[in-house]
Structure 1
Amino acid sequence: MKRSNELILVISLILLSAQITLGQTTFGQTTFAQTETIDTAMFRRIREAGLASSRIPMLAHYLTDVSGPRLPGSSGYRRAANWAVQTLKQWGISEAYTEAWGEFGKQWDLAEFSVALKLPYYQPLIAYPEPWSGNTKGRQQAAVILITSKQLMDTVYLKEHLSLLKGKILLVYNNSNKMAAGYATTPGRLTDSVLEHIEGQHIVSRNEMETIISRDSILVAIDKMLKKAGVVARISAPGNNVNGVVHVQSANGYKLSDPEMITKISMSFEDGQRLARLVRSGQRVELIINQKASVSTRDTKGYNVIGEIPGTDPVLGKEIVMLGGHLDSWASSTGATDNAAGCIVVMEVMRILDSLNVKPKRTIRMALWDGEEQGLYGSYNYVKKHFMNADGKPNEANQKVSGYFNLDYGTGKIRGVYAQENKEMIPVFKNWLEPFHDLDAKTVSANSTGSTDHESFDWAGIPGFQFIQDPVDEVWTHHTNIDDYDHLQIEDLKQAAVIVASFVYQAAMRDEMLPRKEFVKKVFVFDGL
């Protein structure tokens, strides 16, 4: 049966090629695979608007350079969200607003930070504060002592040595620490052979998440113990913090139930190794650390950005096609590739469609999500609120959502799309991608992919999809201090906007809603984070 379907698909594509070659279109529309009519005239207009008059550089500048880091609840996040709403309205998208999705927690805004080696000599060090970690209450000079990650997680060991930790800076160090491969400056592009066999990315099982949740609760208890013991700060310098690239994130400290944390710092591997060698050779090593951040519970809610182009069909106008990406970022840079890139594309899609004065049959709704980095908070709670009953089953509004398209795998161009194990979508997506083969977008993977906002929709039984993207240098920009405007691939984002706009338009105009998988009630993979 599978081979028969493949044969039918091949024949259909051959016929499609012949149609295009011979110009067999009717009023700008081309029929693909006998079941799907592609509005090639509109696709061409979208391409022209997206490539010739793009606003992507401006969008990128305001969402990164001007807004700054977009930690959930922070002033940077609010700047970005408010600017996005204002910009959408200026474009003529009147249905644009922020919407609270629920309780997030503490607001954290960094005001001052510095760390330097004081003894045996003075030198600034490459390091960044972990978000929501505690303040030092002014400049603190203290000695460095070493502790392994195994010792750090051993509460019995800590209790036995607490008296030795008071007034010290803990450097988490492992003898086995090895430097990761150096930062690659050449953009990574997926080859045809890789695309042919591409697997889903960032797949996390519920069992793995429960292990992470358990570990995080232990770390909260450990940090509470260290703070009570008078530890000045805890520093980590893992092997992937190399060549000036420092990974900075945090699993706790933001919840209202979390205690005040100690100062936690992520340092470059090379600086951490130097400090460890000095300590192990018997040198007295002291650092000067200053960390000052404002922590507030003035507004503990989280907010998504929503925008709409209303549907015009008397019946289908009540149905929705959604697209989105997460607006929140980490705080060591401006979150350009993760995920201002996706938000830039989403906003550009809305601008393109509005500028072309499209009249979609279905309502097109965009969302810039909050709290994705903490566990898809914004999208998950939005879906629960709007599309699910209290018993965990789809509600009536759920049945009106045709599908959701997500962009969150970096700044690279779109090379295809994951069908998320929705077999009926495979031929649909292949047809939709046909006009974009010249833009290097050809691949439809049957596999699921994970760890971003389409999973909230997939969990609810709504067709949710993430695009396949070239990784470029995401392995180095992801959650690091170099995730800034200068690592965006502007031309790639233009290509992505054209394809996403075309997909959204096609989904909004087709006669039927997108086919669905059978709904299976289950615990959301990130629930409890």
Structure 2
Amino acid sequence: MRNKYWMWLVALYWASSSYAQVCQPEGMAFRVKEEAFNRSQVEELSQFMTDELGPRLAGSQMSERAEKLVVEKLKEWGLTNPRTEVASKFSRGGWDNEKNYVAMTLPYYCSFSANPKAWSGSTNGLVKGECVVLDVKHKSDLEKYRGKLAGKVVLMPVQQEYQISYEPLASRYTDEQLQRMTLDRRPGKPRQASDSESRKAMQELQNAVTSFMKTENVLAVVSGGGTFNVPTSRRVEYQVGDSQPVPEIILPIEDHGRMVRLLNRGKKVEMELDIRNRFTENLHVNNVMAEIPGSDPKLKNEVVLIGAHLDSWHGGTGGADNASGCIVMMEAMRILHTLGISPRRTIRLALWGAEEQGYHGSRGYASKYLYDSEKKKALAGYDQFALYLNMDFGSGRFRGVYLEESDQAVPFFETWMKPFKSLGFNTLAPFKVGNTDHVSFSVLGLPAYQFIQDPLEYGRTYHTTMDTYERLSLEDLKVNAAIVAWLALNAAMDNERIPVKPGYPEAYSR
């Protein structure tokens, strides 16, 4: 009986030790925090990434300019091999807004905070025209407008109305909310109903309306989106080689709604617009990369990847979405490089291109280095992939990690996060999240994770003209950079690494 007891203890020990959850010494944690909090470059980086770089729409000339300036910054810091890498083809091409003036002139004058839709066309200089509301629910409804819209400014129907909210504009997660996040949702996870047919019908109607507007020679199309007199950023469907689309404008729902209400009451409304957009044939998406090379002969080819997307929408300067993530990841690399740390595995920085247009940068990286989808074959980089950490949920402080249903990751993060629990970084959420670059890797079964972040005011500012430097919480970004530096260091030094999900990559192929 005694022998069986000891055998059970030994088996339990080896089971719990199969992944060597080793945390770097407290002295090293102190050094990381000291550099991150007392010699931070977050404020300088924040102004650089927003005020200096400006908007960074995928494929645009401003995006190419930003890539060059970021590479120069990384070279200035002395990181290894700062560069741009072509990630994928980009059939939309480049688009930059060069002039934007929109106003109502009748029944009275009012200039608007307007935002042209990306990849929409230009007006022929300053144009003026009467406004008309287009109320189309079915393709057949278009016929009643045929021959009546030339030289008109077409207002789309109101799709959204402002609702008074009694919730705070900015918030942080409460302890109760974070505790609920630790509960595993898988047992009761409902199957998602498919709405592909309704989406397809909506897209077909939208395509019909777009085509009709062009044949009718309208001056411009105006829609509503965004509250508090702040318009959102959107795009039109365009491919290089297409004829230039009709100019399309987004107004805040309050301004758009005002004109629609006036027209519906029989009042005459007129507008004037001067929109100039430039199209360029930029047919590729780039990623910005740099490394701290690994030093262990056996592990140096394995990669701990940290990243965020460099592209933004065109209306603002992409402060929260996602200059904030780039600031944190760049600052984390600076901290580790400044401390002179020589990691066993390579730590690689990746600032992705065209995330907002469909994860082009991170998907391109995965296709080039990790997995060939056509051949259904893992590439050399798949077995060398140690970890990916992503930031793309605004400027709020890290409160933990979404584990993508990876139970094997729990003991690693539980061990590595200990020195930062006093800063509120203590939650492990078992479930998956989407809508950002870590998905390009997690779908392959690889250990790739997005951080849980305090929401702050993200919901009302992202994808709007308000997403600028003022949206950044510098204190939170300092904490986040220290956490990324610490986790990346631990992952680069540990004897073991978080395993690929069981059954992958074969499960991705099916």
- 2:79 corresponds in structure 1 to 93
RMSD: 2.6
State the distance in 1 between where 2:253 and 2:171 align.
24
Identical pairs, percent: 34
Q: Assess if the C-alpha contact under 8 Å between 1:412 and 1:472 holds in 2.
A: yes
State the distance in 2 between where 1:157 and 1:449 align.
40
Q: 1:213 to 1:409 in 2, by over 3 A?
A: farther
- 1:57 corresponds in structure 2 to 43
- Deviation digits for residues 164-206 of structure 1 (CA, Å, limit 9, x no counterpart): 22222121224x7421345977531000111112399xx9979
Please tell me whether residue 388 in structure 1 is matched to residue 371 in structure 2.
Answer: yes
State the distance in 2 between where 1:227 and 1:319 align.
53
State the distance in 2 between where 1:37 and 1:355 align.
21
Q: Assess if the C-alpha contact under 8 Å between 1:394 and 1:461 holds in 2.
A: no
Q: Assess if the C-alpha contact under 8 Å between 1:39 and 1:506 holds in 2.
A: no
Q: 1:483 to 1:307 in 2, by over 3 A?
A: same
| Secondary structure of the structure 1 residue equivalent to 2:54 | coil
Which amino acid in structure 1 is aligned with residue 244 of structure 2?
E
- 1:73 corresponds in structure 2 to 59
Q: 1:165 to 1:490 in 2, by over 3 A?
A: same
Please tell me whether residue 448 in structure 1 is matched to residue 432 in structure 2.
Answer: yes
Pairing of 1:90-129 with structure 2 (within 5 A)? 90-104=76-90, 105-129=92-116
- 2:499 corresponds in structure 1 to 515
Q: 1:516 to 1:39 in 2, by over 3 A?
A: farther
Please tell me whether residue 145 in structure 1 is matched to residue 132 in structure 2.
Answer: yes
- 1:499 corresponds in structure 2 to 483
| Secondary structure of the structure 2 residue equivalent to 1:164 | coil
Q: Which moved more, 1:300-309 or 1:211-220?
A: 211-220
| Secondary structure of the structure 2 residue equivalent to 1:188 | coil
Q: 1:206 to 1:332 in 2, by over 3 A?
A: farther
Pairing of 1:342-353 with structure 2 (within 5 A)? 342-353=325-336
State the distance in 2 between where 1:95 and 1:489 align.
30
Q: Which moved more, 1:162-171 or 1:66-75?
A: 162-171
Q: Assess if the C-alpha contact under 8 Å between 2:138 and 2:205 holds in 1.
A: no
Query: 1:66: how far off?
Result: 0.9
State the distance in 1 between where 2:268 and 2:507 align.
55
Which amino acid in structure 2 is aligned with residue 383 of structure 1?
A
| Secondary structure of the structure 2 residue equivalent to 1:193 | helix
Instruction: Choose which of 247, 257, 269 in structure 1 pairs with 2:232.
Output: 247
Runs of at least 5 residues in structure 2 that lack an aligned partner in the other structure? 1-8
- 2:274 corresponds in structure 1 to 290
Which amino acid in structure 2 is aligned with residue 296 of structure 1?
T
Q: 1:418 to 1:214 in 2, by over 3 A?
A: farther
- 2:5 corresponds in structure 1 to none
- 2:315 corresponds in structure 1 to 332
State the distance in 2 between where 1:397 and 1:110 align.
39
State the distance in 1 between where 2:476 and 2:109 align.
44
Q: 1:487 to 1:177 in 2, by over 3 A?
A: closer
- 2:337 corresponds in structure 1 to 354
Query: 1:224: how far off?
Result: 2.6
Q: Which moved more, 1:452-461 or 1:389-398?
A: 389-398
Q: Assess if the C-alpha contact under 8 Å between 1:235 and 1:264 holds in 2.
A: yes
Query: 1:388: how far off?
Result: 1.1
State the distance in 2 between where 1:399 and 1:34 align.
18
State the distance in 2 between where 1:358 and 1:220 align.
55
Which amino acid in structure 2 is aligned with residue 450 of structure 1?
G
Please tell me whether residue 426 in structure 1 is matched to residue 410 in structure 2.
Answer: yes
- 2:3 corresponds in structure 1 to none
State the distance in 2 between where 1:456 and 1:205 align.
21
Q: Which moved more, 1:489-498 or 1:431-440?
A: 431-440
Query: 1:262: how far off?
Result: 1.1
- 1:226 corresponds in structure 2 to 213
Q: 1:34 to 1:333 in 2, by over 3 A?
A: closer
State the distance in 2 between where 1:208 and 1:510 align.
45
Q: 1:164 to 1:205 in 2, by over 3 A?
A: farther
Q: Assess if the C-alpha contact under 8 Å between 2:113 and 2:230 holds in 1.
A: no
Query: 1:452: how far off?
Result: 0.2
State the distance in 1 between where 2:462 and 2:38 align.
30
- Deviation digits for residues 451-493 of structure 1 (CA, Å, limit 9, x no counterpart): 1000001122321100000000001111011100011100000
Q: Assess if the C-alpha contact under 8 Å between 1:232 and 1:262 holds in 2.
A: yes
- 2:286 corresponds in structure 1 to 303
Query: 1:516: how far off?
Result: 1.7
Q: Which moved more, 1:160-169 or 1:401-410?
A: 160-169
- Deviation digits for residues 4-29 of structure 1 (CA, Å, limit 9, x no counterpart): xxxx9xxx9xxxxxxxxxxxxxxxxx
Q: Which moved more, 1:55-64 or 1:491-500?
A: 55-64
State the distance in 2 between where 1:127 and 1:248 align.
10
Q: 1:251 to 1:231 in 2, by over 3 A?
A: closer
State the distance in 2 between where 1:301 and 1:207 align.
32
Query: 1:252: how far off?
Result: 2.3
